[in-house]
Structure 1
């Protein structure tokens, strides 16, 4: 290996001097540790099993669990516990008591499976939809047909009612005839001349039931738009919990996946109260997909009403109820037909979700197309809806359901998890929940019980011996990201009315699974992408938040505990409410800076449209723009308003600086604390970064902190820049402080390396733990994976830990340090040098500092490699060994087809290529 290729060594390789010095790491609580969604299959849990698994999770570095009961395993029905039954509540109490003794937290879902619902949801409270039937009356024809519901599935329901009946002639003139319908459905109305079409709207039920329900959780899904339905639903929990919260930190509600729920019993009255007019004469436009202005405006008003109903009738009530229990609540707003920002902001812990695998440019990162879902790719800007709402309103924790379907089952390594976690952190999220961990009784054999959509963060996973490496990394990173508060400087308005005005469909669900339809094609998204890559930090803001915002000292603040922002950007859009424009101008009047990408074109909605258009135009005409190069600028009260199609030009004019470190390809997220700022910096490029990077804030002293191993040191500074050395795939925390601490040693930068020692001597390979059986030990003349020995059947089926051992003579140990560098590692390893634990190698680049464990002369190295579960599962399927036997969906592959690993290729396992020991010398 050429010397020039190893000069820029990993941050993992840096020694940081005296760790007993003043530690710059913030103190980590259990919320800084990763939590995991804990599937209770059939709620077939017992005290012994709960105790064992919680203890195992605690030792592995987990800070808490989120209980979600789910369908059960066949053959264990006699162990099932009904959800919220006295027996179930006893297990919950045991869980929270045990967790408390381990300094762990416990959250729980307010339902089983998803979306929420259950036996307490009666017909009245069940998810509701509008059922529309049309009838035609020809000229001079007596209409004798009865207007009654024809849907056979709905006929026997007691709550079905006729809500609206409106007749339209060929000129689209409407006559509401709801009160002209007799109890038997007869129409007591005679139309005028011409052909008429009658639209009859019935209040129906979706009949959707809880998906993947646990025993005792089966039943209809909830009508989220009804306050009575929400309160009725939560009464069941009041009965079960009494005056106690049973030690539950936060009650969790999963993503909104209620299909076809587009109405509620009193929707017509709520619409009139909120929008100012009766919807009945316009029902034709609501159910039409015609591309015309009135259709879009009626649908915009309808969708805005839906948004307000789910916010006030479900989300606010859910939050208030959790608080009445002295607990918090966690909610996934995505998927719902509401303004996501307002819904996320209305709870204590907004939660987003990632699904699928991201393509990173990191050297050596595995991403086999056959093992991923190519249709679903996590999007950092989708994640920012949750973090924006939290940052603006001052919520300290933003959670994420992480790594759902990251790869095909049993093929996910911890090195693949890390960059996905980093992307979540870069979005501003700071409280990761693994998806997930399944409770398994002690008498269930490998691989234990498993949930069909999870990455398997279970003790039965053959990678489990090294999960502490991943968990410690997340703990250190989240300890920083949960400190202080977000330091984003820009607010960008989300023009939700542009979406709501679409003439297609009725309700509009903002799902993570269809962002290519509602998010990606927008100018709003284009701005998010462009500004993010340019080095600007921003949060998205809603109309409601703008209305609540105040401007003081040239900054914008929505909540007393939330962030302070330097500028508000209104991206190019078609619709902007006049009330929002008025609030924007009030902010400018009081000192705020505002950038409009284009002049407001239209007001949304139908009611008093001309009056509101005129008001909007009058407001806009108050601004006296002057041409200023490519920009139009105006002083407005104490503030400034810029009009520019190029948003970055506007930001430059306002002297709002971007972080130029992104020019190197590095990504970052920034936090502020009393006395300084944290920068969390990640290298997801394919190249090494070994240079000074500029920072907008330097302070008096900069410490560099390595979240992989916890080491730290004082950085070299030059002007307004900091020297960093980051290999592809590495991350770093930069702590810039306004005060100095002379007790912290200098960061050790790699100045040069010497000729590496290449381990080309024989190795001993033995097997420590795993199955289905341990392969035989052997001596290797050259380093290679144990799966190369195809003649030895157990090597092809083994999942577990193999130990590679060798000895070598070190002529001199006078280098500042030595780096053990792996060429290929399948998949993670514990390194033991001369009998001492030197650490875990689990993430790219596969390197570790071992200098302090070496001695002159003879040294012994053991590398304990843990591989994927895949080969053992392949063996089990080939030999028809039953391991998946669940009710409901049972177990599926990444394409939701029946799972079968029998035709898989053997996954390489162990070590391959060269292992080098590289002498390192640090700058003095």
Structure 2
């Protein structure tokens, strides 16, 4: 009987079991887990590889305590006078230090990456001349009708030490540029034994080596840079590391490759053969057009073919080849594609962790944010440049998007957390979620202040006067990245990047797609203008390449680029060149249900073809099959639109912008199982206090402050298109909102309303100042009738001081139940830790300088202590004024932001401490 009843019950139990499995996990009000990758990592400069176990252990513990999640080992040149500590790269001693580092990091819960080489770019003593970076050298000769060539065809060295270049081919061109190969008519002495009638332009093509050596190489890493276009050269390079690591897994996470920076490398030994195989014709016959800078059709087409071939070789022979090899070694790859001559999207997509770079200082409208023009490089970072890396990650289903962050943010020793915050927020808004600082230098305990420093780094080392306050900044990034690594990117648009338009630029030979030249290859394009306009209008988007389009499919009307990513529409901005194959792929997407918007009709196909007209006609005939009526055409299950008003067409499709941007807010979204995260940032000049509209519908809503980790429920109203919520963000503030798909009960307090205070107490009077620790010496304590900075008061020792000092005071206070109290400081130079009544209240280091002190305040007498950490600038000026030697390195030594010899002796005193009013305001 029992078995009979069990058989009867089994279908019922099975049904309810599946019902339980299908239920969503309960909504959570917790902050996502702060994982190792959520914490910020740093590039870790090993100067001269002069590392030892004692200092490695101590420094890793110091980094861990400051909130860093991992390090990226970057061997570099060394400090003079410490040569006896140097360790050759990949020697047994070096590998022992690597092993110790990884093991120690593991005990601390930290990760380790390593640069696969020293300095940059890839290269070293293992790179033979044959495998070194290669260039094409073309020597020109003129041959008159009936006369023998009066010079020999021999390679013309610019330096005696230059290796002998190999003659690849000799070509003769008539007045119409029709070509004849005459290589076989040149004897071993360089004599040309050929005398065809007519006047001829002779071009001798040599395979030459660039001669570039590894830049900033560490001991054991000096040598030629690698030929990235040669599969055999890359294989040889990788095998060198495979042999070094043979028999042991050192347990680091990934190999890292910096931006290309292989100067003048535009060729490889089998380039002509590869070109003909891929493009279908002999490039040698078209060299006059490759060398020309005239904006003619044939010049542009030949250059496009040349650059596409360079891209193919870089992508396949280096990037994909390298990643496959790394996977065989159980390692990931982390790569910067920018600076290379290839399609950035495809190069980023070919690795495990795409990495972009923030270089220079952005201008923000935030009042009070310091940006001294004398202390910044003449380069404005463009967040759209960062989106090439994040787009590649999103579209291929990769979660992490890293960034080399704060490269030359400002002059050495003058960069503050308040300047870093909007810069890193801008990176977050572009899709970055795995910050790497540039960087931290390994500096042993016995090296005097300021320790070893790298010439282009932010120099956030344990010697930095801001270091004791660094954890607060790192916690802000960790909390932010914990959310930005959760779920998937929530971007509704795909914008096609017409790389063939870039490759058709008539200027130059090899098009280097760099961060520093965006004014040339990016800003003038409709791709850039339309992308920027869409983003500023409130749309979320990613960029897509030809290859990514080919690999996409349609699922329920959405364009699915991977198992983890889909979008609502594909946008083709004004495009001159589009391959027929790409257009066919777009047609197939539409036939399967996709919506595609063309800003204009693509004009033609890229590249040179012997049957140019017939191939163009195929493309035009395909386009002609599309029957537009009022800018709209049905294509299979989907639609084509022809529209220069992208916003209007998107609205017709029911794809709505986030109107919250009209207030001045910037945003990015992440979709998770139970709702949507919004990251909202106010980089405008004004406070924003008003109702905003979210496109996501929210059953419940939660606010989350990445500065403090505090969370709170926030009231909202449903609207026809989403959710309405009241937001109060001062200039410089940011916040996360989480919309829950269902109405849920959250066991957290309501979010405070700081929009309007009911009363304010000024506590700016009667303060004492005590200097705690720092350089070059501790100044005498000070008393202040009204709080002010400790600099420029006639105390030279205070003017020279870099470190931490504490302001303290007492005040009477009446506290009301149910109220919230906000401590605000007009100016903090540069970071403040605050204690009220002996209880730590938190860290204030960004504009606006404010902190909720409700829990710490009491009725009656209250004490307050504010520890301030200032910049290193004043103490470095002291060293230079007193001619105390602190910079003495091999290679570039130490330079300023303009790459001139560094000298701080003429610097003005940087304000330090607190200034302006300190107030406590009461809020309902």
TM-score range, shorter chain: over 0.9
- CA contact under 8 A between 2:752 and 2:820: conserved in structure 1? no
Checking the alignment, whether the CA contact within 8 Å between 2:353 and 2:402 is kept in structure 1 is yes
**Stretch moving more, 229-238 or 147-156:** 147-156
Determine the structure 1 residue equivalent to 2:245: 241
Give the distance between the partners of 2:753 and 2:805, measured in 1 at CA. 34
* C-alpha displacement of 1:290: 2.4
Q: Among residues 155, 167, 170, which one is paired with 1:165 in the alignment? A: 170
Q: In the alignment, what sits opposite 1:266?
A: 270
Could you say which structure has the greater relative contact order, defined with CA pairs below 8 angstroms and 6 or more residues apart?
1
**CA 1:349–1:760 in 2, change beyond 3 Å: closer, same or farther?**
closer
Partner of 2:560: 557
Alpha-carbon offset, residue 340 of structure 1: 0.4
- Counterpart position of 1:782: 786
Shift of residue 855 of structure 1?
Answer: 1.1
The Cα of 1:182 is off from its aligned counterpart by 2.5
- Note the 1:426-825 alignment, pairs <5 A: 426-561=429-564, 563-607=565-609, 608-627=611-630, 632-719=631-718, 720-742=723-745, 743-750=747-754, 752-790=756-794, 792-814=795-817, 816-825=819-828
Contact 1:243–1:325 (Cα < 8 Å) also in 2: no
Secondary structure, counterpart of 2:461 in structure 1: coil
SS at match of 1:282: helix
Per the alignment, residue 894 of structure 2 pairs with: 891
2 CA distance for matches of 1:301 and 1:788?
A: 62
Structure 1 residues 638 and 812: CA distance shift in structure 2, 3 A: closer
* Paired position in structure 2 for 1:303: 307
Contact 2:134 2:265 in 1 (8 A): yes
State the secondary structure of the residue aligned to 2:883. Answer: coil
TM-score normalized by the length of structure 2: 0.95
SS across alignment from 2:759: coil
Match status 1:91 vs 2:97: yes
Cα deviation, 1:741-787, whole Å, max 9, x if unaligned, reads 31333222236423211114311111111121101012211111111
SS in 2 for 1:756: strand
- Gaps (5+ residues) in structure 2? 1-26
Equivalent residue of 2:520, what SS?
helix
Measure, in 1, the Cα distance between the counterparts of 2:781 and 2:506.
69
Question: Please, which of 833, 836, 846 is the counterpart of residue 830 of structure 1?
Answer: 833
- Deviation of residue 144 (structure 1)? 4.5
Structure 1 residues 866-875 or 362-371, which shifts more?
A: 362-371
* Partner residue, 2:342: 338
Does the aligned pair in 2 maintain the 1:588–1:639 contact within 8 Å?
A: yes
Aligned position for 1:422: 425
1:59-208 to 2 correspondence within 5 Å? 59-153=65-159, 157=163, 160-193=165-198, 195-208=199-212
Q: Does structure 2 conserve the Cα–Cα contact (< 8 Å) formed by 1:363 and 1:728? A: yes
For 2:98 and 2:552, locate their aligned partners in 1 and report how far apart those are by CA, in whole Å.
Answer: 41
Q: Name the CA distance, whole Å, in 2 between partners of 1:753 and 1:115.
A: 56
Distance in 2 separating the partners of 1:480 and 1:716 = 21
- Asked if 2 retains the 8 angstrom alpha-carbon contact of 1:37 and 1:437, the reply is yes
* Distance in 2 (alpha carbons) for counterparts of 1:808 and 1:155: 76
Contact 2:177–2:288 at 8 Å: present in 1 too?
no
**Structure 1 residues 837-890: Cα deviation after superposition (integer angstroms, max 9, x where no partner):** 111111110011112111111110001111110000000000001110000100
Instruction: Decide which of 284, 288, 291 is 2:292's aligned counterpart.
Output: 288
Deviations 1:683-731 (A, max 9, x none): 1011111122111112311111111111111211123212211111111
1-side partners of 2:886 and 2:818: how far apart? 52
The answer to whether the 8 A contact 1:571-1:597 is kept is yes
Distance between the aligned counterparts of 1:559 and 1:610, measured in 2?
36
2:753–2:923 contact (8 Å) kept in structure 1: no
Counterpart selection for 2:401 from 387, 398, 402:
398
Shift of 1:155: 8.0
Following the alignment from structure 1 to structure 2, what is the Cα–Cα distance between the partners of residues 87 and 23? 49
The 1-side partners of 2:500 and 2:114 are apart by 35
| CA apart distance, 1:293 | 1.1
Rounded to whole Å, the distance in 2 between the matches of 1:27 and 1:572 is 43
CA contact (8 A) 1:37 1:68 kept: yes
Contact 1:251 1:329 in 2 (8 A): yes
Does the 8 A contact of 1:245 with 1:327 survive in 2? Answer: no
Q: What is the aligned counterpart of 1:408 among 408, 411, 421?
A: 411
Q: Is the 8 A contact 2:689 2:755 kept in 1?
A: no
Aligned to 2:141, the other structure's residue is in SS state strand
Q: Distance in 1 between matches of 2:281 and 2:374?
A: 54
For 1:112 and 1:447, the matched residues in 2 are separated by 24
Q: CA deviation at 1:243?
A: 3.8
RMSD: 1.3
Offset at 1:918? 1.1
**Alpha-carbon deviations, 1:804-831, whole Å to 9, x = none?**
1111111344461211110111111110
Q: Which moved more, 1:667-676 or 1:603-612?
A: 603-612
1:802 is displaced (CA, Å) by: 1.1
Q: Is 1:872 matched up with 2:875?
A: yes
- 2:773·2:804 contact (CA, 8 Å) conserved in 1? yes
Give, in whole Å, the separation in 1 of the partners of 2:29 and 2:375.
42
Instruction: Please state how far the C-alpha of 1:173 moved relative to its aligned partner.
Output: 2.1
Contact 2:792 2:909 survives alignment (8 Å): no
Deviation at 1:171, TM superposition (A): 2.4
Q: Does the CA contact (< 8 Å) of 2:469 and 2:831 recur in 1?
A: yes
Question: Could you say which residue in structure 2 is the equivalent of 1:4?
Answer: none
SS in 2 for 1:112: coil
When structure 1 is superposed on structure 2, of 92-101 and 361-370 the one drifting more is: 361-370
Aligned 8 A contact 1:815 1:920 in 2: no
Q: CA deviation at 1:362?
A: 1.1
| In 1: Cα distance, 2:505 partner to 2:295 partner | 9
Q: Cα offset for 1:153?
A: 3.7
Alignment partner of 2:361: what SS? coil
Report the CA distance between 1:897 and its aligned residue: 0.6
Q: Deviation of residue 676 (structure 1)?
A: 1.3
Deviation at 1:788, TM superposition (A): 3.1
Change (3 A) 1:741 1:67: same
Tell whether the 8 Å contact from 1:154 to 1:205 is kept in structure 2 after alignment: no
717-726 vs 69-78, which deviates more?
717-726
Is the 8 Å Cα contact of residues 876 and 882 (structure 1) preserved in structure 2? yes
Q: Please name the residue that 1:5 is paired with.
A: none
Counterpart Cα distance in 2 of 1:577 and 1:390: 24
Greater Cα shift, 615-624 or 751-760 = 751-760
C-alpha distance in structure 2 between counterparts of 1:154 and 1:176, whole Å: 30
CA contact (8 A) 1:22 1:744 kept: no
Partner of 1:221: 225
How many angstroms apart in 1 are the aligned matches of 2:173 and 2:183? 13
- CA distance in structure 1 between the partners assigned to 2:635 and 2:248 by the alignment: 54
Instruction: Give me the whole-angstrom Cα distance separating, in 1, the residues matched to 2:541 and 2:590.
Output: 19
- Offset, 1:678: 0.8
State how far apart, in whole Å, the 1-side matches of 2:897 and 2:161 are: 39
Q: Determine if contact 2:260/2:337 at 8 Å carries over to the other structure.
A: yes
